[in-house]
Amino acid sequence: MIEFVILTGLSGAGKSVALNAFEDIDFYCVDNISPAFMETFYDLITKAKEPEVKRVAVVTDVRGGKLNHLLSILKKFDQQSISYKILFLDAKDYVITKRFMANRRKHPLLKKHSGSLAKAIESEREALLPIKAVANYVIDTTLLSPAQLKNRISGIFLENSSFALTVNCTSFGFKYGVPTEASLIFDVRCLPNPFYVEDLKNLTGLDKAVNDYVFSFQETNTLVNKICDFIDFTLPLYVKEGKNQLVIAIGCTGGKHRSVAIAQRLYEHIEKLNHKVTIQHRDINK
């Protein structure tokens, strides 16, 4: 059985970085395959006499033609019980614009829209909506560095996932923006802040001194216990519903102290429940 991943999303959202991440974890990768060739490509791989390729990631997007053809191919895959996963990369318009300006690259729909980058992005986003709606995993790269994106992908696909649900625990700072792909967001700014303790200010929630301080308060332990109770109750429901990805975001002001310590504790708790879980501290170095 081949592990087949379809990587798609907005131009400028990080598909090239993502494809490199797949290569790093031993996927056979193909960039810019037309949706019209998807079925034939899959048949060539699976019907080879001595197939050596077991994990495949292919990129398909607006460069390859009409994406509505991809939906019909996916419908055929479903009818034939062919297993596949779709990873969709998204990002805010202003970030995509900034990336194209910085890289001095042309958006693939730029000519079609008379050189208007804003209209090209809008058009592409609209064309991709049906694909995004059926994606197994959606990652918003607006506030992610290339290294963080690679870590997210590795966390999801590094092992052959027999797990029904992948949980990502992420800490973040509200001052830098809320993770738009988060399924659940817990605001821990109500707890005592180590930032105002001189000896702890320049440390992070991964340091024992900060962790000990955060959890020295009864309200912290009570809140975390209640979050864990909520997670214990809801995780089986998400699995039953058929959800593939659950992003649990823990936020404090700067994303460096409280949210990091609590996200780490939550990660350890979920790991004990025998779920596939990853951890990411988005703003810890800001």
Question: Tens digits of per-residue pLDDT, 183-237?
Answer: 999 999 999 999 999 999 999 999 999 999 999 999 999 999 999 999 999 999 9
* Measured distance CA(143)–CA(135) in Å, rounded: 20
The CATH number assigned to the domain holding 147 equals 3.40.50.300
pLDDT surpasses 90 at 259? yes
In a domain, 286, yes or no: no
CA–CA gap between residue 140 and residue 146 (Å, rounded): 12
Residues 45 and 117 placed together within one structural domain of the fold:
yes
126 and 173 co-located in one domain: no
Rounded Cα gap, residues 63 and 190, in angstroms: 47
**Cβ-contact 107, 100 below 8 angstroms:** yes
Phi, psi for 85 (deg, rounded to 5): -130, 145
pLDDT score for 167: 93
Percent of the chain with pLDDT over 70: 97
Q: Give the C-alpha separation, 92 to 286, whole Å.
A: 20
Q: Are strands 184-187 and 55-59 parallel, antiparallel or unpaired?
A: unpaired
From start to end of 118-271, where are the E strands? 137-140, 166-173, 184-187, 245-252
Q: Is 136 exposed, middle or buried (0-12, 13-18, 19+ CB in 10 A)?
A: middle
CA dist list (Å): 116 to 97, 107, 166: 11, 10, 39
Q: How high is the pLDDT of residue 243?
A: 80
Could you tell me the residue range of the domain that residue 174 belongs to?
A: 166-281
Select the highest-mean-pLDDT range: 23-32, 217-226, 265-274. 217-226
Q: Is residue 52 pLDDT above 80, yes or no?
A: no
107, 174: one domain? no
Residues 148 and 233 in one domain: no
Once rounded to an integer, what is the mean pLDDT over residues 108-133? 92
Closest to 168 (Cα-Cα) out of 152, 157, 150:
152
Q: State how far the alpha carbon of 243 is from the alpha carbons of 5, 164, 166, 186, 253, in Å.
A: 17, 8, 9, 20, 30
- Which tens digit of pLDDT belongs to each residue from 138-172? 999 999 999 899 888 988 887 644 456 889 999 99
Domain end marker among 95, 126, 157 = 157
Q: Which of 5-14, 24-33, 158-167, 183-192 has the lowest mean pLDDT?
A: 158-167
Q: How far apart are CA 153 and CA 275, in angstroms?
A: 17
Domain count, the chain: 2
For residues 49 and 113, state if they share a domain: yes
Give the pLDDT confidence score for residue 162 in this predicted structure.
45
Tens digit of pLDDT for each residue in 75-119?
999 999 999 999 999 999 999 999 998 887 889 899 888 989 999
Residue 96 lies in a domain: yes
In this structure, the answer to whether residues 148 and 209 fall within a common structural domain is: no
User: Same domain, yes or no, for 114 and 180?
Assistant: no
pLDDT, position 161: 47
Whether residues 131 and 192 share a domain: the answer is no
pLDDT of residue 51: 59
Which of 128, 157, 186 delimits the end of a domain? 157
Residue 1's pLDDT is 75
Pairwise pLDDT comparison (248 vs 45), residue with the higher score: 248
C-alpha torsion 222→227→230→236, nearest 10: -130
State the pLDDT at residue 68: 77
Residue 182 within a domain: yes
Give CA–CA dist 213/194, Å, rounded.
7
* Average pLDDT score over residue span 41-52: 76
